[in-house]
Chain A
Amino acid sequence: MRTILIRACFPVRLSELAKGISAVIQEVEDANTNDPISRRLRELGFVRGEPVRIVAQGPIGGDPLLVQIGFTRFALRRAEAARVQVIPEEFM
């Protein structure tokens, strides 16, 4: 029990978030310097404090992910979602 709680204090990657669990974005990391994908994610509203949820997964290997953010749904490949750090809501 304790280990889970300690782990939960740290953000997880959006690509690791279970389907249907609400979470809040902590930050979007750059995979490399001047990462255009991270920049675009931020422009699309993937910014700190924004609530997100995985609503569906692709049929093969659970890729891509369908992410609900704001009023919008975006399909992100796992590599793209891995740039987004989130904190699952039940631990907040």
Chain B
Amino acid sequence: MNASAAALRIAIVGNPNSGKTALFNQLTGTRQKVANYAGVTIERKEGHYTAPSGRSVRVLDLPGAYSLTAASPDEEITRDVCYGRYPGEAAPDLIVCVADATNLRLHLRFVLELKRLGRPMVLALNMMDAAQRRGIRIDTAMLQERLGMPVVETIAVRRGGTTALVERLDREVPPLAPGADENADLHVEVRALLADAVTAPRRTAVMDDAIDRIVLHPVLGLAVLAVVMFLIFQAVFSWAAPVQDSIEAGIAALGAGVGNLLPEGALRSLLVDGVFAGLGAVLVFLPQILILFLFILALEESGYLPRAAFLLDRMMLSAGLTGRSFIPLLSSFACAIPGIMATRTIQDPRDRMTTILVAPLMTCSARLPVYTLLIAAFIPARTVGGLFNLQGIVLFTLYVAGIVSALGVAWIIKRLHRDKSEHALLMELPSYRMPHPRDIAIGLYERGMIFLKRVGGIILSLTVLLWFLSSFPAPPAGATEPAIDYSLAGQLGHALQYVFAPLGFNWQICIALIPGLAAREVAVSSLATVYALSGSGDGLQAIVSAQWSLATALSLLVWYVYAPMCLSTLATIRRETNSWRQVWITAGYLFGLAYLASLLTYQIARALA
């Protein structure tokens, strides 16, 4: 307390879509620290700046809220901090309430509610540029007098757009006299304020109406959405690939370079196959995450994201999800990790959990090498119906199986949920805005760091653990089989054979499943290792098609539709939900589904053959 006694602690409070975060970014620039509130996954953003007087100002950006009667975990935090009763969080010296100048009918009610707290408070009338463009005139002096608090105009997205606010905050702000009548109707007060201090030629922006006519049109709107989604999917899938390849190659080269400096042995193997392989496994996800979030942040800032949710809500609702689940699930086709991170845009915690739970069922790009190997080995490249390639049909079927299962699982979760209270949509569709590069850059940096710091550590340590399992104990002198056979992973694989025999898996597959935990695509190279090959796909394909039955291959394909074979995904779920329970539930149900589906596939295929 003593060290920060001189610093002014302010909290930025406001409705969602009031430009709160842009204001926070303008005030603090890059001097920000993003963490989570203790025990929950809601972001706590704090930054600081130095006022003209030389005084240090610490700024807390509270989650957006419509009311102090909280309806979501975010709003509960805002409420508790404002009341000064959040554990470990001192009440702010000053509340800066941000209101969108073009949306005062809604935002002023919250201003009046906050005013009742009786704390020193300043109102920032944000987006004054948009208000001017729309011909909205606000008598700031009148508003200031009627509200009894300083009112400052701001344009958070413009350089110097918060200078007046910074100067006002540097002077003393007196506490407010709490409202005399606690039961007065705030809406009546808002209407009176608007009548006296605000004139607006019309209530909506002409531009918004025009864009919404197309974007929310039942046919055109869906077409626009399809194009946008296709672009995102393409970008995440194809733009990222060359970068990912060079990251993998670069890390491998670096690992080899370091390895060459060391003598052959366990230490070298640990560095090259454990640490550097793990580092590669972490960094390789970064391009996809950054590209995906570039789009998501731009769509969110522009105001399109809630429109997409609007269009798809009905469809997703019938499966027990929400419109907002769509983008995280679509992203999961590239990789479940950015997909699960993207569920932060879903406000209802129950909907968010369901989305996280089914995201791993979307066929991610890492499953493709496994699918490709097995399909090429077992499914003849025949043309069906004069038009379709049989191999293509099988691949497509595997994708569809994932989607259908996800919808089914979501539907079952909805039925199982004890909390039957209605999930509200009640979603504001904000005015369209040009995304601001600085806000997107800061957002991207945050996502990247969250991934590297919070997920990267888990992935790296798990990779090293798997290296240990696959390398120890070392093969005895004069060993004839591949080294992995003698290791703990090898022994485990042989033991697992008893569990997986009903699925038609031989011991080679069982061993390959273990290193495949690090990343699904590793299973292919592990199979090659087990069969003592150099790892080239062609040789493996020949062996597999000669030694495995079709039933085994189909069973393994089906296994990969469901299997919780990706520790990185589980690590992300742990981080994003802050709950091991959620991890066990996800892994457990995926394993159960995988086992059941593979068992059925193998037994049916064998019976038919």
Contact = CB atoms under 8 A, between A and B. Distances in A.
Interface in A36-71: 36-37, 39-41, 43-45, 47, 50, 55-61, 63-64, 66, 68, 70-71
* Residue among A47, A55, A75, A79 with max Cβ neighbours from chain B (10 Å): A75
- The bracket for how many chain A residues form the interface is 20 to 34
B106 A45 contact: yes
B221 interface: yes
A71 B203 contact: yes
A40 B425 contact: no
Given A75-B429, A76-B426, A59 B311 contact: yes
Interface residues of B, number: 39
Interface string B195-214: 00000100110001100100
Contact of B204 (A44, A57, A71): A71
B494 interface: no
Interface in A9-36: 31, 36
A72 B421 CA distance: 26
A63 B105 contact: no
Contacts of B216: 56, 66
B429 A73 contact: yes
* Residue among B106, B424, B425 with max Cβ neighbours from chain A (10 Å): B425
A43 B71 CA distance: 11
Given A45-B187, A55-B212, A71-B204, A79 B105 contact: no
Nearest to A61: B314
A74 B222 contact: no
Interface in B428-465: 428-429
* Residue among A50, A57, A77 with max Cβ neighbours from chain B (10 Å): A77
A40 to B, nearest CB: 5
* Residue among A57, A58, A59 with max Cβ neighbours from chain B (10 Å): A59
A39 B67 CA distance: 10
A45 B200 CA distance: 18
Contacts of A71: 102-106, 200, 203-204
Interface string B150-191: 000000000000000000000000000000000001010000
Nearest to A74: B428
Contact of A80 (B208, B218, B309, B424): B424
Contact of A70 (B66, B105, B306, B421): B105
B115 interface: no
A68 to B, nearest CB: 7
B106 A72 contact: yes
B426 A73 contact: no
Contacts of B222: 59
B212 A63 contact: no
Nearest to A48: B187
B317 interface: yes
Contacts of A77: 313, 317, 424-425
* Residue among B71, B311, B429 with max Cβ neighbours from chain A (10 Å): B429
Contact of A40 (B71, B309, B313): B71
B66 A40 contact: yes
B495 to A, nearest CB: 50
B103 A37 contact: no
B321 to A, nearest CB: 13
A28 B470 CA distance: 64
B542 interface: no
B314 A58 contact: yes
A75 B203 CA distance: 17
Interface in B591-605: none
Given A45-B109, A71-B200, A66 B422 contact: no
A36 B426 CA distance: 11
Contacts of A36: 71, 421, 424
B310 interface: yes
Given A43-B109, A59-B222, A74 B314 contact: no
Contact of A58 (B187, B208, B311, B421): B311
B426 A44 contact: yes
A40 B314 CA distance: 21
B480 interface: no
Nearest to B101: A71
23 contacts: A36-B71, A36-B421, A37-B424, A39-B69, A43-B109, A44-B426, A45-B109, A56-B216, A58-B218, A58-B311, A59-B219, A60-B315, A63-B313, A64-B313, A64-B314, A70-B103, A71-B102, A72-B103, A72-B106, A74-B427, A74-B429, A76-B426, A77-B317
Given A64-B425, A75-B306, 11 more contacts: A43-B67, A44-B66, A56-B212, A58-B218, A59-B219, A72-B103, A73-B208, A74-B426, A75-B309, A77-B313, A80-B424
Interface of A: 31, 36-37, 39-41, 43-45, 47, 50, 55-61, 63-64, 66, 68, 70-77, 79-80
